[in-house]
Structure 1
């Protein structure tokens, strides 16, 4: 794909970030940040592996832990994983900080994305699940750099005049909302399929866009479904899957969504696009 930087700046190419952007991120205490499903399970379960059935995908493992220890345990543990450690921003975020695209999709649950936009006004949309008051599975905030405060707003007040940060799986800040267990994902995806995962203005804006998938694991069923719902109407795009051989499910997703896989690492890609 040509003119990647130009397309990112104008908004025709939308970054879509997954856990893989944390692959080489080490916290200052020497521990690693979760960068795939297995490492997320270990983080949720105090470093201990779980049964093969539960190790298949972290949402399944999180559901088992939630059933045994309660919903609050999963929420607090997820928050602890991403809020209790100091770490340098992964290269994907530092690179995007120099571009500041008008729309970014980030399925990670930490606040790295908010940090790189902390000097500009923006909107933040975070995913929520298992609520009964409304069908919408999102909360919208407006950020003011002068006060460093996020204020909740109604979806009618959202506009394309400011950058939009979309964190569909939730985030640690400004409020803890996480889509992490099977029950969360089932609820979120069910309402997403009904059209309630994105505000109306974003449903219009996303049409005919290309996407840059960085660190997204398309070998996992859940995140293929999440990506599919969020990018309905896409024109195509790029995936960065640095591996010897793609799985059948990865190949199918790439083909059916008219994507091109670049078999290079995120860091290699960034070095060639600065």
Structure 2
């Protein structure tokens, strides 16, 4: 079977149907008609061991080696980070996160391909900075990155900071061909991390009315849909952010994801958000998008 309709109207495409949709998405990306939304699963496109954690659970595991958290929260990155912040101070948490993500994550073939496209907006939901590196390696001078920042050390109504690809902080609102939006922060250039539960208290209070989301992101999503690659939605935090970033966008949404591994909450979220699932290994999907021929077997979601 190539197309599956679940009782909750979740659309799952497989085989030739999935391949044809990817071909259309390739054209849409080249025409700046869809917004790529990248997740930590992209780090596994390579068969090599990833130099930094490739999931929230992996971050939690590394943090636990430094400050063991209670068993009931041990696999939850946000709760473990909060545990560390409360007992070891925010500076310690930031320093440990910077150390955990210090090794450069080499851009994948998909990052490199996207970096050369005339995209108005790219969302990168992980801390590794691979998309930023790909844009820099492509020689792009028409890109600014807007990073979400914790308000723990800020005075005033600050939700984001803006940087060029050289690492210089810019005044908010600069015009740029491409906006790279990293809503949870990034290790580079300034080790901005939204990671502890406390980081999200005010954000989640305001995000329903869209205050923390930059105006330029709101503007550029209006007439475009989203294309999720390397993302999972098995935690409420991840679903909330994706839902609010998609909010009021016009266009269809798609996600490359292993349908057999979807949780009940993921299925509900995908169905309610009208996100069509492309049931294919991320490595295979990336290879088809970039025209790399046969995909590597890596790239599980």
Within 5 Å, give how 1:142-221 maps onto structure 2: 142-143=164-165, 148-155=166-173, 158-159=174-175, 161-221=176-236
Report the equivalent of 1:138.
160
Task: List per-residue Cα deviations over 1:77-98 (Å, max 9, x = no partner).
Answer: 1111111x24433343234234
Choose from 105, 115, 124 the match for 2:145. Answer: 124
**Higher RCO structure (Cα 8 Å, ≥6 apart):** 2
**Cα distance, 1:45 vs structure 2:** 2.6
Equivalenced residues, count: 264
Q: Deviations over 1:195-242 (max 9, x none)?
A: 222222321221242111112120111110011111112333111112
Q: Distance in 2 between matches of 1:271 and 1:26?
A: 14
Contact 2:84 2:93 (8 Å CA) reproduced: yes
Unaligned runs of 5+ in 1: none
Q: How does 1:229-240 map to 2 (within 5 A)?
A: 229-234=244-249, 235-240=251-256
CA–CA distance in 1 between the matches of 2:202 and 2:53? 24
Q: Deviations over 1:156-199 (max 9, x none)?
A: xx33x411100111112221211011111222222322322222
Which position in structure 1 is the counterpart of 2:56? Answer: 37
Query: Contact 2:80/2:196 (CA < 8 Å) preserved in 1?
Result: yes
Between the aligned partners of 1:137 and 1:26, the Cα distance in structure 2 is 36
2:274 to 252, 255, 258: 258
Distance 1:40 1:246 in 2: 21
Q: What is aligned with 1:99?
A: 117
- Provide the rounded CA distance (Å) in 2 between the counterparts of 1:200 and 1:38: 31
Partners of 2:47 and 2:288 in 1: how far apart? 24
Aligned: 1:14 with 2:30:
no
Structure 2 unmatched ranges of 5 or more: 1-20, 291-301
Distance 1:244 1:205, change over 3 A: same
